[in-house]
A and B are shown apart, each in its own frame.
Chain A
Amino acid sequence: MMARLGRRRFVGGAAVVAAALSTPRPIRAAAAMGFDDARHLLSRTAFGATPAEIEALASMDFAAAVEGLLARFHAQAASAAPSWVGEDLATLRERRQAALAAAGKNADGKPVNEVAKLVREQGRQLSNWWVDEMLVTDQPLVEKMTLFWHNHFTSSIQKVRYVPALYRQNTLFRREALGNFATLLKAVAHDPAMLIYLDGVRNVARQPNENFARELLELFTLGEGHYSEADIKNAARAFTGWSIDRDGGRFVDRMQLHDGGEKTFLGQSGHFTGDDILAILLRHPRTAETIVEKLWREFVSSTPDPGEVKRLAGLFRSGNYEMKPLLRALFLSPAFRDPVNRAALIKSPIELIVGTVHVFGLPVPDQTPLVRMIAGLGQAPFAPPNVKGWPGGDSWITTNTLLLRQQFLRRLIEATTVSSLDGNMAMGRPGRRADRRQEMPAQTMEPYPVEGRSLRGAAGEARLGPTLSGADNATLLRTLLPRKPIDAVASAAQSPGAVVAAAMLDPAYQLK
């Protein structure tokens, strides 16, 4: 799974521009948007942008560039998935039993937990695969939306433990990334990982389990305050019987476990099934508003404009929940380009780490150190903290994570490839990687980066790879920072490497 940055030709490729311009859709008065608008658009819709990528967009008309982003879609991931993603539940059971039978004892006499080890290893491979996909993809907006849906319809490996189901859920999110929300909602309600995560598999007529029904109403569609406890109970009854089959691990509707009685849900009564509940929710205006508000926080600002939310939600519903018209309207809304909303969002750990590696053009022979950094900053893929997902926004930055972010960035500045980044990241779990540490060469064991000792020059300069070399100091600053630096970083006399290092450690680098 070698990440080759050359493959990532986002809007840089002339083909994309040509495709966008040759569409029959009439393009409004074409005007070059300029460097800063191009940077802003990419900072919100991609994982970092190099000077060349920004320049390629800068000469385009803004609306045409948005059209180009939305036109770029294929459902297939570019990275090869781990070999086991097709395994069914029966195979998994066999593997677990084999692992248990082979289980030895640790040095301290405790039995090795082979099942936990298997899940952990599959989780590591799956996270590596996804982070690789974010690095190599030629459609970063699709990956961003895949991550968005993962954070909306959360499922965690901590509970699901049937890791192939999480892979399939991820491919569902990618398929509908720019697709249709109604289709996605229905698919998620039938999704095996979700049925495990929120106990749908245990929801039976004799004793309904309310877990999925509650989160469906509270988090996935209406939001708190728009339903009653009785609505939750009745919705749970309607979903009884939706389960997964024991061997295949696929969705199955167990009719004999379904509660066929009459239910009252949001003021309507009938012998509802799960599909009926979803249909009622899709007719409720709050569902579209919930999604629009969340997209606004992802792409525009931390404070959704109520009037705009109503307008966009109306458009979303009347457009039968198609994602492209909604995203188009969102990116073309005046608020998206409003100067007040520039640099107004905090980068998520994934945006920070994947974006920095992309902009630096660092080779990534192994994604594990990157995934570990991302996890340390609080965004372990496939392991959101709870069903509400990552709260994001200001909560990304605490006294603890700000220090870790700076520590990682200092390492990235000094790195020549990602593998040399490892060493002791001191991510708050002392002793956990003691065994790994012994395998590593001595020079990567520095407990923390020592500036002046790196290969990159004594003054904490970054040596610039092909993605950044050749750019002048002003362009480097405009590329790396969404606003002017907070600390006085650059004097004209400084080397480009020193400017890049200072910009990355500036508080403004935490913003997008």
Chain B
Amino acid sequence: MDRRHFLLGSSALSVVMAAGSAAAEQERRVLVLVEMKGGNDGMNTVIPYADPLYRQFRPGIGVARDRTVQLDERVGLHAKLDPLMEAWKAGDFAIIQGVGYPYPNRSHFRSIEIWDTASASSQTLSEGWLSRAFDGVQLPRGAGVDSIVADNNALPMMGPGLRTIVMQDAENFLRQATAMKESNEPRDDRNPALRHVLEVRHEVNGAAAGLHDKLRDGPRPAYAFGADNGFGRELDLATRILAARVPVVAIKVALAGFDTHANQVPTQERLLGFLASGLATFRRNMLAASLWNDVVVMTYSEFGRRARQNASGGTDHGTAAPHFVMGGKVKGGLHGAYPSLADLQDGDLKHTVDFRNVYSTVAQGCWGLRRDFGQRPVRPLDLFA
């Protein structure tokens, strides 16, 4: 809280940042972070169809050739991702292959923490990578909120660098916030539980004040999201926040259920369908609102899955996987190298791209921030036009 109050006081600096030079304006894009909870099976998402080992490893659950949308002579997308081909053809859909990290941890909880905090496998950090990225950066204070989480895992944003709220429904949020006006400022107390409750209340009030008018009068999405899954609802909220031009740096959404230890095919196909139709609708909405150049969508997941299927028609916790980056200023196409199926480590794919290099690239491309997240040297990807 101390730092936050300090920042509130230094309004002169904020004004400079808010006014912004033309150059700075160009590098202010909103990151839409998409968590695929449970560990998505990358090998059945971006399929190395030309590799004979693929069929050998996955005799039961391998994606048939005619269910694979060819991207190049080696890999193709699962047919359920076909709605994303519009973006692929337009050249604003990047696929980064083989994303992971050294000494991979196969615990859901530990590995997502590693991704959310951009730590090394052996290192425990409590601050989210987005908060770390904005450490020391003066953000405009007007909106009362810097990032919005539409699912329930806010760890990437957690920390003193960002004011974050978790919000599942904008209208209800504003209505309830109005009913919970604080009668005084949070005060110092040696009770951490109480301090937490008071800080959350303070955040709600701050965010509600900033969001109230913008969201109430903001435009509705031009294209409706599928109502049959929570992911569509979360993207709908993200679309409304962006269309209302609430000056946040990031919005997080999530799609859950990827932990497919058994009978994987129908579950993963359903989820990939939700992912593709949701992201395709989101892109159309952004294009319709002339916002597509101002957003960057990025997926992540705690891990990929093992190269070989298990005896239950599923896959167990693995390591590296492909991830998606989309946006009007994103250079589409395949990035990084697909991990070799012939060179596994304990039956797992070896990563070819460290996720922290992706984060560094995105921090630069979205906000003009140079951040190494402990990688020296940083190996940036050529993701932004």
Contacts and interface: CB of A to CB of B under 8 A. Distances in A.
Contacts, number: 128
A446 B152 CA distance: 27
Contact of B201 (A343, A344, A402, A430): A402
Given A202-B261, A224-B110, A400-B167, A486 B173 contact: no
B204 interface: yes
Contacts of A483: 191, 194
B173 A403 contact: yes
Given A214-B107, A399-B204, A403-B180, A344 B310 contact: no
B104 to A, nearest CB: 10
Contacts of A428: 168-169, 172
Contacts of A199: 261-262, 312
Interface residues of A, number: 50
B193 interface: yes
B265 to A, nearest CB: 16
B193 A398 contact: no
Interface residues of B, number: 46
Contacts of B310: 202, 207, 209
Interface string B163-193: 0011111001101110110111000001111
Among B165, B180, B203, B317, which residue has the most Cβ atoms of chain A within 10 A?
B180
B106 interface: yes
Contacts of B169: 426, 428, 430
The 6 closest A-B pairs by CB, nearest first: A207-B311, A428-B168, A403-B176, A399-B165, A202-B312, A398-B166
A487 B193 contact: no
Contacts of B354: none
Contact of B196 (A346, A387, A388, A407): A346
B168 A400 contact: yes
Given A218-B107, A344-B191, A407-B176, 11 more contacts: A209-B261, A209-B310, A211-B261, A340-B190, A343-B193, A398-B154, A398-B165, A399-B204, A406-B180, A431-B227, A510-B197
A403 B177 contact: yes
B337 interface: no
A28 interface: no
Nearest to B346: A229
B179 A343 contact: no
A357 B50 CA distance: 62
A451 B169 CA distance: 22
Interface in B177-223: 177, 179-180, 182-184, 190-194, 196-198, 200-201, 203-204, 207
Contact of A511 (B108, B184, B193): B193
A349 to B, nearest CB: 13
B176 A302 contact: no
A404 B183 contact: no
B184 A487 contact: yes
Contacts of A393: 193
Nearest to A199: B261
A227 B28 CA distance: 45
B203 A410 contact: no
Contacts of A394: 192-193, 196
Nearest to B192: A302
A84 interface: no
B234 to A, nearest CB: 10
B109 interface: yes
A507 interface: yes
B269 interface: no
B316 interface: yes
B176 A209 contact: no
A226 B230 CA distance: 37
Given A406-B176, A407-B176, A511 B167 contact: no
Contact of B152 (A218, A224, A378): A378
Contacts of A387: 108
| Most chain B CB inside 10 Å of its own CB: which residue of A204, A209, A487 | A209
B208 to A, nearest CB: 9
Nearest to A393: B193
Contacts of B166: 398-401
Given A209-B316, A398-B152, A507 B197 contact: yes
Interface in B30-83: none
Given A207-B311, A399-B203, A511-B193, A486 B167 contact: no
A256 to B, nearest CB: 15
A469 interface: no
B123 to A, nearest CB: 13
B350 to A, nearest CB: 16
Interface in A220-252: 224, 229
A488 interface: yes
Interface string A375-402: 0001000000111100001100111111
A202 B200 CA distance: 44
Nearest to A403: B176
Interface in A31-89: none
Contacts of A218: 107
B316 A399 contact: no
A229 B106 contact: yes
A428 B233 CA distance: 9
Contact of B200 (A378, A398, A508): A398
A428 B170 CA distance: 9
A482 to B, nearest CB: 10
B133 to A, nearest CB: 21
Interface string B226-258: 010010010000000000000000000000000
Interface string B278-317: 0000000000000000000000000000000011100011
A210 interface: yes
B262 A406 contact: no
A428 B151 CA distance: 11
